[in-house]
Structure 1
Amino acid sequence: MSENRVLDRTYHVAVLMGGWANERPVSLMSGNGVADALEARGHRVTRIDMDRDVAARIAEAKPDVVFNALHGVPGEDGTVQGMLDLMGVPYTHSGLATSVIAIDKELTKQALVPHGIPMPGGRIVRSEDLYQADPLARPYVLKPVNEGSSVGVAIVTEESNYGNPIRRDAAGPWQEFDSLLAEPFIRGRELTTAVVGGEALGVTELVPKSGFYDFEAKYTDGMTDHICPADIPENIAALCKQYALEAHRVLGCRGTSRTDYRWDDEQGEDGLFVLETNTQPGMTPLSLVPEQARFAGMSYEDLVETIVKDALDYFAGAETGGEHGNG
């Protein structure tokens, strides 16, 4: 057993993973990595692949805490969080209210922009209307309102083969979702900052070897270069950390979060925009939070235990009437 462990004793942890969202394979990788790390630290682990009987399986297991390693709906949108709240079972990461807001890109804008956090403009559009006319001047971005990991994102340019206006038979998110968020395309660089234990760990630049940083580029080994720390000016790195911490606070995140940016380096500080804050960041070998944690001197096992400790401390405070957020 490690001598520099974060937790002062061992616990029974149920690791909730899998599910039926688009991100199921990623969640399984995250969950099994977390479970392996906890077992390496001597904890008792019950691995649970999310299904419709999940409440009964958690009740049967009687864990001290649930590590929520789900990505996407229903593990990231408040559904599982509400279920665990009703069951009275402590769990990692953000709570119901935060999860509902953070997975919805439009609600996130409404929460963050009034606090001075810059985000791209845009509006919700009906997919049916895209076949009549562009909602914004090209280039622009179309993305589902409540999916993560760049699932279903399309960049519509003058040169794209979607047609002008977009053709009904052109493959894209308009064929899968009734409505989409349309945002102006921000040229430049992809940056991200993780928050763990109330601290912004660093800034990573993501450089896809082709195309843009979509779902495939995120989770396919060798398709994206991670530059950690990012080779950017100190003032931009400081702003990334500031915005990540503020987003984490305003949204009421717990445990860990990851805030993603686009930065137009020709515009300096005015070119930095928050795209979203992820309340259930990946924990796979290619994931960004473990990578930044390593750079900050935190092992993967320490990271996992830190997230569990945050959950245990939060729920212990809630039971004794202590101060805690609404996440």
Structure 2
Amino acid sequence: MTDTMDFGRVAVLMGGWSAERDVSLNSGQAVFDALAGQGIDTVAIDLHREDARELGRILREQDVDRVFIALHGRGGEDGQVQALLDLLDVPYTGSGMAASAVGMDKVLCKRIWQSAGLDTPAFAVVDGLAETQAAAARLGWPVIVKPTADGSSVGVSKVDGPDEVAPAWREAAAHGPVMVERFVAGGEYTVTILAGKTLPAIRIEASGEHAFYDYQAKYEAEDTGYRIPCGLAADEERRMAAAAREAFELIGATGWGRVDFIRDPDGRHWLIEVNTVPGMTGHSLVPMAAREVGMDFPALCRSILEQTLAPKTAAHGGADGGESVHGAV
């Protein structure tokens, strides 16, 4: 195990200015507590938009050696802060600038997957309400209307018919460019990637009042169900894990992250999105998957942080293998 002195001083970047600010603050505080509780010299930094251009000064004043990124959404998960840290030559957790930008851009991510022959639902990028209505009718009801960026299902709506398109488009457009995606009925699953390996898949069972695993189901509802083991046959879970690794590596993502799927009634695994800085709150899925293989939250945070000790070409280049962690698929 790495000695705490090897890390130097660690800054946990949290907050940010995206729609996921509150989630990020919760994630960041949990990570800070976990690292500091292990004797690691840790400082929490609540990053605001106006602070970004002063990030170098802030890190120098705090005598920071490396950064644990707990920023979700735009500004923190889309390559912006990664680019700044690259310029400052400060090691950080997770994917590099390019992979972060691709992972945050649902359209580009899906196009890369499609070009590799991976299953992802059909979609259309739309400009305005009329295009949204036309795309929804063409794809067939129901559809998902959502922003092309942002995470945590912010601005995402399931639309069952023409009368629901307008409010769904307004909700999504409030967060930027909009896309329409064919709705795939089936079970929702997620697979965590940690240092190039996979943790056990989790099946997510949102309550009846939630049409899918939306923001409220993720962070507010107390009746959202999580099945781990997920209930899939071993061979099928291995197949899902392999698809998760391939999807993750295709966009150049490294370090840690999460890949979300819908499994349709025919057993086909449809890629929905990748998260390069997943949540680390009490409701979060990555800590849940880690616990299943005997890794508690402090150990998980330390494992993620240890990736910053590797040379940048390794840490932010290709993934390091396709194995499992502690026997996970």
TM (norm. structure 2) is 0.88
Task: Give the letter for the 2:305 counterpart.
Answer: V
Distance 1:21 1:141 in 2: 21
**Identity %, equivalent residues:** 37
| Secondary structure, aligned partner of 2:125 | strand
Distance 2:169 2:178 in 1: 15
Task: Specify which of 287, 297, 302 is matched with residue 299 of structure 2.
Answer: 302
CA change 1:146–1:213 in 2 (3 A) is same
> What whole-Å deviation, never above 9, does each CA across 1:132-177 have from its counterpart, x for those lacking one?
645332111111101111111111113x752xxx34x677424515
| Secondary structure, aligned partner of 2:310 | helix
CA change 1:326–1:62 in 2 (3 A) is farther
Are 1:325 and 2:317 counterparts?
yes
Distance 1:68 1:84 in 2: 10
TM-fit CA distance, 1:63: 1.2
| Secondary structure, aligned partner of 1:248 | helix
Long gaps (5+) in structure 2: 320-329
Distance 1:302 1:53 in 2: 30
| Secondary structure, aligned partner of 1:53 | helix
CA change 1:292–1:177 in 2 (3 A) is closer
CA change 1:134–1:297 in 2 (3 A) is same
Considering fraction of residues, name the structure with more helix.
Answer: 2
> What whole-Å deviation, never above 9, does each CA across 1:76-122 have from its counterpart, x for those lacking one?
11110101111111111111000111100111012222333211111
Distance 1:83 1:149 in 2: 24
Long gaps (5+) in structure 1: 1-5
Within 5 Å, which residues of 2 pair with 1:172-321?
A: 172-177=170-175, 179-209=177-207, 210-211=209-210, 212-264=212-264, 266-268=265-267, 271-315=268-312, 318=313
Are 1:25 and 2:22 counterparts?
yes
Within 5 Å, which residues of 2 pair with 1:32-47?
A: 32-47=29-44
TM (norm. structure 1) is 0.88
Task: Give the letter for the 1:65 counterpart.
Answer: R
Distance 1:244 1:185 in 2: 20
Distance 1:93 1:44 in 2: 20
The alignment of Structure 1 onto Structure 2 pairs a total of residues equal to 309
Q: Is the Cα–Cα contact under 8 Å of residues 193 and 258 in structure 2 kept in the other structure?
A: yes
Distance 2:281 2:118 in 1: 29
Task: Give the letter for the 1:234 counterpart.
Answer: A
Moved over 6 A (4+): none
Task: Give the letter for the 1:261 counterpart.
Answer: F
Q: Is the Cα–Cα contact under 8 Å of residues 254 and 310 in structure 1 kept in the other structure?
A: no
Are 1:153 and 2:156 counterparts?
yes
TM-fit CA distance, 1:233: 2.5
Distance 2:94 2:169 in 1: 35
